[in-house]
Amino acid sequence: MPKFDLDIPHVLPVPEARTRLGRAKAKLEQEYGVTCTWEGEDRLLVTRKGLKASVSVEAARLRVDVDIGFLLSPLSGAIRAGITKQLTELVA
C-alpha cells in the first residue's frame, strides 16, 4: 500500500479544530462513501475499501496519515491534493 502523510497548519484552538473536523464527518461519509469514527477525542479514523487514513488534531496542525490500496494508487496525487485543499479550507 502506498503511504503518505500531510501536515495542515492552523491557528485555531484545538476544540474549534476538532469541532470543524466533526462537522465535516457527515460530508465525508456522504460524498466519498467512507466510514468515520473518532478514536479518542483528537483522532478521526477514515476508512473505505482501498483507503485507510487518520486525522489527528494537534495544537498547530492537523496531522494526516494515509494508506492507499493498490487500485487507488494511480489516484494518489489527486487524493493528496484533495485532502490538502479540503482540510486547508476547513481550518482557514
Model pLDDT for residues 1-29, shown as the tens digit of each residue: 689 999 999 999 999 999 999 999 988 89
8 near 17, Cβ under 8 Å?
A: no
Query: Does 36 have pLDDT greater than 70?
Result: yes
pLDDT value of residue 1: 60
Q: Which CATH architecture best describes the domain 3-91?
A: 2-Layer Sandwich (3.30)
Nearest-angstrom CA–CA distance, 58 and 62? 6
The pLDDT score that the predictor gives to residue 86 is 93
Residues 39-73: pLDDT tens digits?
999 999 999 999 999 999 999 999 999 999 988 88
Measured CA to CA, the distance from residue 86 to residue 41 in angstroms comes to 21
Q: What is the pLDDT of residue 39?
A: 96
- Non-local (6+) Cβ contacts of 9 within 8 A are 60, 61
- How would you class 62 by CB atoms within 10 Å of its CB: exposed for 0-12, middle for 13-18, buried for 19 or more? buried
